[in-house]
Structure 1
Amino acid sequence: MQFYLMLFRKTYVRNFQYRMAAMANNLGSLVFGFMYIAIWQGTLGPERHVLGFGQDEMGWYMAFVQGIFFLSFMALPRGFEIEESVRTGSISLQMMRPVSFYGYYLAHGFGYHAYNFLFRSIPVYLILSLFVGFPSFDMANLPLLVLSLLFSAYLGFLSNYFVGVVAFWTNSTRWAFLVMYTLINTFSGFLVPLPILPGFLAPLSLVSPFAGMNYYPAMVLLGRPTLLGVLVPLFWCVALTIVALRVTQAARRKLEVQGG
């Protein structure tokens, strides 16, 4: 455990070496956040509502999801650069370490998450909210909000980890990244609240693993928590962890068979 805590801390501290890059990313996120808010508020106007989302609700929603964007897999190194380790062969040395391969990247990922949450998510959310206001929040929902954010961060880690371990079977993870990027943008609620999606996509997205990344945490903030908003992310966190551990074992066997 001490090793993983040390890795978490080192990853967190290392990010301070790239503060200018973080500030540039924050600025870009603010620009996109203002664009999304302006589009939705201009579309809805002061009177129109869509499935319970009016001009104010949509502003609060977009400000929040733009902030927690930095807990998604897109704010992590693509596939944790496992592809490069496989290509150079250094992955064999990493697999020989007396530590969990999965645990190594879990500590690594949450080191990024901790830095991103404190120095990217919170500033972006606060700045955007200065322009759209803050929703009234029942402090009794704070533990649920914290739990939802942890689910979001863990699901973001898992999606990025799956992109990385694909490298054991393919020459490139770029296609896996693009597929995951598309799925998350569509089904996480980042671009639009999920009930607004057309046809069967709305109910399908609400039970997908991606809904726990943005939509369900945002619903807690807006005072609309549901049992589904806890059970769906919890189920996928457990199920995908089991899958990730099985895939890791398969990757290890494949490396040994190839003589790595």
Structure 2
Amino acid sequence: MNFYLTLFRKTYVRNFQYRIAALVNNFGSLIFGFMYIAIWQGTLGSNRHVIGFGSEEMGWYMAFVQGVFFLTMGLPRGFRIDEAVRTGEISLQLMRPVSFFGYYVAQCFGVQVYNIIFRSIPIYIILSLFVGFPTFAVTQLPWLLLSLLLCMYLAFLMTYFVGITAFWTNSVRWSFIVQYTLIMTFSGFLVPLPILPGWLATISLYSPYAGMHYFPAMFILGRPSVEGIALPLFWCVLLTFVALALTRVARRKLEVQGG
């Protein structure tokens, strides 16, 4: 456990070396956030509503998901596992007397805690200063935090799946593009999922991606649901078993190839 805590702390501290890059990324994210908000507010105007979302609600929604974006898409691409495979460093990682899966969990949360403090919260606050803050009951805070924790873990799993493909392809470029497209389509980042066409909305709501943006946003908007916790939790458990199984298969494949 001390190893994972040390790795978490060192990963968190290492991000301070890239403060200028973080500021530039934050600025770019704010521009996109304002753009998305302006598009929806211009589309809905002052009176129109779409499935219960008016101009004000959509502004709150877009401000929140833009902040959460760094928790879901602000991780290193595939945790750079493909680089470790190409250089041979992966064999040393697999030889360590620690869990390969747990090693990247600790790294991931080190990055995400940094992103929460220095990216997600500032971006959400700045955008919300222009669109306002939704009425939020303090009693909902534990459920919101749990929803965000599940969101962060789902983001880890999706990034890990991208990285683990390097054992078979030596590159994660295409798996990253596919995963990025799925997240942008099914997570509710661009639009609240019920706005999508009927069959696509149903698939999206029951997919693991809904727990990355849509369900956390529903909690902050004061629209909690049992599904908002139960479905992401189900996918976290199921996909963890899948990730562990893939790790065992990948380890054997590397050994067969000679390490």
Q: Which amino acid aligns with 1:182?
A: T
Q: Normalising by structure 1, report the TM-score.
A: 0.99
Query: Partners of 1:221 and 1:172 in 2: how far apart?
Result: 38
Unaligned runs of 5+ in 1: none
Q: Which residue of 1 aligns with 2:177?
A: 178
Q: Which amino acid aligns with 1:59?
A: G
Query: Partners of 2:56 and 2:110 in 1: how far apart?
Result: 34
Could you tell which deviates more after superposition, 198-207 or 117-126?
198-207
Equivalent residue of 1:65, what SS? helix
Query: Partners of 1:7 and 1:106 in 2: how far apart?
Result: 10
Q: Which amino acid aligns with 1:107?
A: A
Q: Is the 8 A contact 2:41 2:59 kept in 1?
A: yes
Deviations 1:151-190 (A, max 9, x none): 1100001100000000001132101000000000000000
Deviations 1:97-140 (A, max 9, x none): 00100000000000000000010000000000000000000110
Query: Partners of 1:127 and 1:186 in 2: how far apart?
Result: 25
Deviations 1:36-72 (A, max 9, x none): 0000000000000000000000000000000000110
Q: Which residue of 1 aligns with 2:86?
A: 87
Matches within 5 A, 1:66-85: 66-72=66-72, 74-85=73-84
Deviations 1:173-226 (A, max 9, x none): 101000000000000000000000113000110000000000000000001011
Query: Partners of 1:199 and 1:134 in 2: how far apart?
Result: 30
Q: Which residue of 2 aligns with 1:34?
A: 34
User: Could you say what the CA RMSD is over the residues aligned between the two structures, in angstroms?
Assistant: 0.5
Q: Which residue of 1 aligns with 2:50?
A: 50
Q: Which residue of 2 aligns with 1:189?
A: 188
Query: Partners of 2:9 and 2:130 in 1: how far apart?
Result: 34
Matches within 5 A, 1:94-173: 94-173=93-172
Query: Partners of 1:142 and 1:149 in 2: how far apart?
Result: 10
Q: Which amino acid aligns with 1:69?
A: F
Query: Partners of 1:11 and 1:172 in 2: how far apart?
Result: 23
Query: Partners of 2:194 and 2:107 in 1: how far apart?
Result: 34
Equivalenced residues, count: 259
Q: Which amino acid aligns with 2:128?
A: S
Q: CA deviation at 1:90?
A: 1.2
Query: Partners of 1:87 and 1:199 in 2: how far apart?
Result: 44
Query: Partners of 1:117 and 1:240 in 2: how far apart?
Result: 24
Equivalent residue of 2:146, what SS? helix
Q: Which residue of 2 aligns with 1:246?
A: 245
Query: Partners of 2:133 and 2:198 in 1: how far apart?
Result: 31
Q: Normalising by structure 2, report the TM-score.
A: 0.99
Deviations 1:58-103 (A, max 9, x none): 000000000000110x211100100011011111111000010000
Query: Partners of 1:7 and 1:147 in 2: how far apart?
Result: 23
Q: CA deviation at 1:253?
A: 0.6
Q: Which residue of 2 aligns with 1:20?
A: 20
Matches within 5 A, 1:183-222: 183-222=182-221
Query: Partners of 2:201 and 2:93 in 1: how far apart?
Result: 42
Query: Partners of 1:246 and 1:48 in 2: how far apart?
Result: 48
Query: Partners of 1:110 and 1:187 in 2: how far apart?
Result: 23
Q: Indicate the percent of aligned positions where both proteins have the same amino acid.
A: 72
